Amino acid sequence: MYTDLVLDHFTNPRNVGEIEEADGVGEVGNPVCGDVTRISIAVGEGDVITDVKFKTFGCGAAVATSSMLTEMVVGKSLREAADVSNVAVAEALGGLPPKKMHCSNLAADALQAAIRDYLLRSGREAEIDEILASPPKAPEPSSH
Amino acid sequence: MYTDLVLDHFTNPRNVGEIEEADGVGEVGNPVCGDVTRISIAVGEGDVITDVKFKTFGCGAAVATSSMLTEMVVGKSLREAADVSNVAVAEALGGLPPKKMHCSNLAADALQAAIRDYLLRSGREAEIDEILASPPKAPEPSSH
Amino acid sequence: MKPVYFDHAATTPVDPRVFEAMTPFFCERFGNPSEPHRLGREARSAVDQARARVAALLGAGENEIVFTAGGTEADNLALFGSLARLQPGHLVVSAVEHPAVMEAARALNGRGWDVDYVPVDGDGVVDREAYRAAFRDDTRLVSVMTANNVVGTVQPVAELARIAHQKGALFHTDAVQAVGSLPVDVDELGVDMLSLSGHKLHGPKGVGALYVRRGTRLQPLLHGGGQERRLRSGTENVPGIVGLGVAMTLACEAMPEVRPRLERLRDRLVAGVLARVPEVTLLGHPTDRLPGNAAFAVRYVEGESLLLRLDARGFTVSSGSACAAGSDEPSPVVQALGVRPEDAHGSLRVSLGRENTEEEVDAFLDALPPIVDELRRMSPLYAKR
Amino acid sequence: MKPVYFDHAATTPVDPRVFEAMTPFFCERFGNPSEPHRLGREARSAVDQARARVAALLGAGENEIVFTAGGTEADNLALFGSLARLQPGHLVVSAVEHPAVMEAARALNGRGWDVDYVPVDGDGVVDREAYRAAFRDDTRLVSVMTANNVVGTVQPVAELARIAHQKGALFHTDAVQAVGSLPVDVDELGVDMLSLSGHKLHGPKGVGALYVRRGTRLQPLLHGGGQERRLRSGTENVPGIVGLGVAMTLACEAMPEVRPRLERLRDRLVAGVLARVPEVTLLGHPTDRLPGNAAFAVRYVEGESLLLRLDARGFTVSSGSACAAGSDEPSPVVQALGVRPEDAHGSLRVSLGRENTEEEVDAFLDALPPIVDELRRMSPLYAKR
Ligand SMILES: Cc1ncc(COP(=O)(O)O)c(C=O)c1O
Ligand SMILES: Cc1ncc(COP(=O)(O)O)c(C=O)c1O
């Protein structure tokens, strides 16, 4: 089932919580489906993500991928962070059980929603397509 | 499966063989079906069976019922001996496995064939029906 | 503290006495029961003895017991076997059956059978009106479980079977969770077929039995050497069957002592959880439930997360039923009770067994609240409630 | 002398190392592999490890292995499972299949499938011409066993599978007698499905496996929780599966040493029997046969009687195949070789295993002639010959 790394991230999740006065917030998933992830980011000089926090309602894989993602993107530029795919997060965790792959879609999607939110808030709609271009999968509609 | 008594009669069968100059001989069964029993009798004063021997090609149950039958009928009159049914032999053995009941049909049938043979040889055809009347099952055609 | 096992509804440890009884049949008394030699006869009589035990404990006759490879096979044999000869007609099952019945019913549906899934009330008890109304002229079989594996609710099987018989249908009950925990007598229940499984009653995995009332015609699922009165071919799992016989005997013997003790432990656990954790509901019937089953919906928390955190703290529980596929769906059983899907995701099943103690229950009651708290603080739903 | 076990084709004792490997999974590591907690994960990884072993030993991929409750279930799953979705068409099996394949084929016949039973020659080898001629446009599946359980003949499976594929049919082989005794590689054989069973290779009863080549579509026989990639539901028999994995590993590791040794023992036994007992024929192929199988037709003697007498003298043998029903029929396999029914009744199967010794074979060769003699003297057929 779960790798030791998944269990470690699940048991001691990194960066849990919500950034007060966040620069961008994204939430994806649906409680009816059993998983919701909310990611808030702080963006500093040169579009660098200086802080990131998550809240997740979901299974072990959903929590672990959220935690892993936050570790992977802090210090990265928005462009680089948007490049981190769900698959990359699952790989960084040493793999997920096949039936859990869908849960791993939440974290990266929530981050992209947060980036999009940041760009919208800062009047940079024009850049959304370019910055979020690389990941093959378009983020799901977000709300915050 | 087999009771201890069946196994005992199978392992140490009583009255195996063929009476030389027998008064009556009966053989029933079919090698193609896997069981043949041949019984020879000596008949003394007052129609009493003074000796009986069997040969059987067949499974454990076929051998054991043959052996048990010979023990049950020696010393009996033809009339009494003809009364010993296949079911009675099986009961005397403490029962047989359901799928083996058909093998237990051979012994009593062979005895009846032997009695019939004796009556025919001694010109007592007229008595056949009376003496062999009681058993519900008519003996199969015999040859010797 | 050593880990506390609270997942007896998923499976149970084999009782050491059961294991001991099985042991000689692996390496020494290993004969094939179909062989007429001594080793074979020895194996045959061990199987027959187990059959006599299982039969007696159910109030059944010896040739009404068919050994199978488990509860799933027993359920499948009951449904497919009893309907195989018939023209497709109508089948009634409850909405809270185990997947072994549910999926068999679905497969029958694919072969032309109409299936009605009778709803349950908020406590998980089959709705009598809906049940009566479900019958049709061509209803051939009803399958309602004796006790539910997720929420523990015990069904009024005797009453439901009587109704089915009045309507001319056969009645099967999946008693996999009940046998060994509650008294089960096939004549009192009045059922035509009844499934049970070894590993739920401190016996081995991979062995079970189907009770088939004399006169009930069945087609086999497994064809071959003709074992089990031609109803289930395959070399008999002799150690497993021996283990099942001994396990059932031990469970039934211990029941008068174990059952009230488990009920007390369970009630203590339920009361403690409800008192100490806010926004938690008990699932299933408050009293007509399995002695060891305590099931809850914990709002704003996802079940697997809760299970894994409790596991990390030494408490082995379940978040519903254990099955290999689709376990990220909220339990259909919990939803059938009317619980909203988002709350059904937070289902927690604590199933006690005869080796559990009050200390373990109290330790659990101390461990649970901070874990729920932690998960809720992590949940984006909780802040918004 | 302690009893000599010469009935390895019926079943084998569990190897003590296998039993040792299984032991912890009964009372301690007893988790349900479908549960995500530690105990469940432990059980899951034990099952996965066994699967990896079985797969590697067959040259298969891990997700090509479906664990079942034995050889019979594997055979039934292969036949029913691969044909379930299809419109009834045509099925080809050999005339010497085990009842697990034979009866499944008969049941399919009852559901509208045409079945051809391809004859074998006097050595028990499938007749190539009849085989080729059996195919029709709608032949969907062929099932020919790797090695026969009664007379030991090994079939040219690779060649037969190639022909089946040319004709567009799937190919299944029942390798229950072969696996563990002969090298078996699914790619060398080129089969789509292959059955094996634990208790024939010093593993436990009640567990087996079906190899299913990637891309072969199968419907399950047992529906439920979705275990075994939905192909075989039911809580996994964890100790049994672990035992199968270890048993197969041990058997395959030992094969280079055991196989030639068994062949020498078997040849000694065959030569001895033919030399010492008149009117006896060797059944099956003189050389292309299972290493441990020596099968004979002993004229004027009924098989069960011979078996029971040998048993009373401490030699455990068989009079053909072990199956629960109809065992008083002469073996259909022996008859398929052209042996007359009255002679087929006298079939004797001596199946050697890795623990047997030359001393045991020699003791048997001393014991057999007087027993045959005694039975012949008791036989009304012998005098008349
Ligand atoms: C109610 C119920 N029915 C059937 C089964 C299936 O039994 P088994 O796991 O022995 O196949 C289970 C448990 O898994 C169960 O709880
Ligand atoms: C060739 C063959 N196929 C199938 C089987 C059935 O296997 P199992 O007894 O494990 O059901 C056997 C043995 O019984 C066999 O010898």
The CATH number, out of the four listed (3.40.640.10, 3.40.50.2300, 3.40.50.1820, 3.40.630.10), of the domain defined by the range D16-250: 3.40.640.10
Chains D and C touch, contact meaning at least 3 pairs of CB atoms under 8 angstroms apart: yes
Known catalytic residue at B33: yes
Residue A103: list chain C partners with CB under 8 A. Answer: 328
Q: Is C380 on the interface with A (CB under 8 A)?
A: yes
pLDDT, tens digit (0-9, with 9 covering 90-100), for C258-316: 999 999 999 999 999 999 999 999 999 999 999 999 999 999 999 999 999 999 999 99
CA–CA distance, A127 with D144 (Å, rounded to integer):
66
Between chain B and chain D, the number of residue pairs with CB atoms below 8 A apart is 68
Is it the case that chain D and chain B have 3 or more CB pairs lying under 8 Å apart?
yes
Q: Which residues line ligand 2 (CB under 6 A)?
A: C 234-235; D 70-72, 75, 98, 100, 145, 149, 174, 176-177, 197, 199, 208
- What are residue D5's phi and psi, to 5 degrees? -95, 110
**Ordered structural domains, chain A, with CATH:** 4-120 (3.90.1010.10)
Question: For residues D58 and D53, what is the distance between their CA atoms, to the nearest angstrom?
Answer: 9
Cβ–Cβ of A2/D44 closer than 8 Å?
no
| Cβ of residue C135 closer than 8 Å to a chain A Cβ | no
How far does residue C342's CA lie from ligand 2's centre (Å)? 48
SS3 B115: helix
Residues of chain D with pLDDT under 70: 320-328
Cα-flanking dihedrals φ and ψ of residue A28, to 5°? -130, 165
Of C75 and B98, more confident: C75
Residues of C in contact with D307 (CB under 8 A): 36-37
| Record: contact A31-C342, CB cut-off 8 A | yes
Q: Do chains A and B touch (3 or more CB pairs under 8 A)?
A: no
Judge whether C46 and C240 are in contact, CB under 8 Å.
no
**What's residue B2's pLDDT?**
87
**Is D301–B32 a contact, with Cβ atoms under 8 angstroms apart?**
no
* pLDDT value at C229 more than 80: yes
Q: Residue A48 forms beta bridges with which residues?
A: A77
pLDDT at residue A144, rounded to an integer: 45
H-type alpha helices, B12-143: 60-73, 78-83, 86-92, 105-121, 125-131
Distance (Å, rounded) from C-alpha C317 to C-alpha C295?
10
Lowest mean pLDDT among B105-114, C5-14, D65-74, D118-127: B105-114
Q: DSSP string of D140-166? A: EEEE--SB-TTT-BBP-HHHHHHHHHH
Query: Ligand 1: does its nearest atom lie under 6 Å from the Cβ of C8?
Result: no
pLDDT (0 to 100) of residue B142? 43
Task: Read off the pLDDT of residues D99-158 as tens digits, 9 standing for 90 and up.
Answer: 999 999 999 999 999 999 999 999 999 999 999 999 999 999 999 999 999 999 999 999
Pocket test for ligand 1, best of C77, C102, C200, C207 (most atoms within 8 A of CB): C200
Q: Please tell me the distance from the alpha carbon of residue B130 to that of residue B138, in angstroms, as a whole number.
A: 13
Ligand nearest to the CA of C10: 1
Q: Which residues contact C131 (CB under 8 A, 6 or more apart)?
A: C92, C118, C160, C163
The reported pLDDT for the residue numbered B5 is 95
Average pLDDT, chain A: 89
Q: Residue C335: which H helix or E strand, with range? A: helix C332-336
Q: Above 90 in pLDDT, residue A2?
A: no
- Give this complex's ipTM: 0.93
Is residue A136 scored above 60 in pLDDT? no
Helix B60-73 to helix B105-121 angle (10° resolution) is 50
Spans of all domains in chain C: 4-11+256-384, 16-250
**C227 touching chain B per CB within 8 A:** no
Helices (H), chain D: 16-22, 24-27, 38-58, 71-83, 99-110, 128-134, 157-166, 186-189, 238-276, 303-312, 332-336, 341-344, 358-378, 380-384
Share of chain C above pLDDT 70, in %: 98
CB D237 within 8 A of CB C197: no
D264: Cβ contacts below 8 Å, ≥ 6 apart: none
Site from D235, D238, D310 to mutate, C interface, most C CB atoms within 10 angstroms: D235
Confidence of residue A139 (pLDDT cuts 50, 70, 90): very low
C384 touches chain A (CB under 8 A): no
Which H or E run contains D4? strand D4-5
**C4-11+256-384 domain in CATH 3.40.50.1820?**
no
Catalytic-labelled residue, pool B19, B64, B84, B103:
B103
Q: Which of A19, A33, A36, A59 to mutate to test the interface with C (most CBs of C within 10 A)?
A: A59
Q: Where are the alpha helices (DSSP H) in D84-136?
A: 99-110, 128-134
**pLDDT for A142:** 43
CA distance C23 to C82: 35
* Residue (of A81, A58, A85, A60) closest to A5 by Cα position: A60
Nearest CA of chain C to the CA of B89: how many Å? 21
Residues of D in contact with A10 (CB under 8 A): none
From the list C26, C228, C324, the residue facing D227 with the nearest CB is C324
| Coil/strand/helix, residue C370 | helix
d(CA A75, CA A93): 19
C137 CB neighbour count, 10 Å cutoff: 8
The residue annotated as part of the active site, out of B1, B11, B17, B33, is: B33
Residue C220 has pLDDT above 90, yes or no: yes
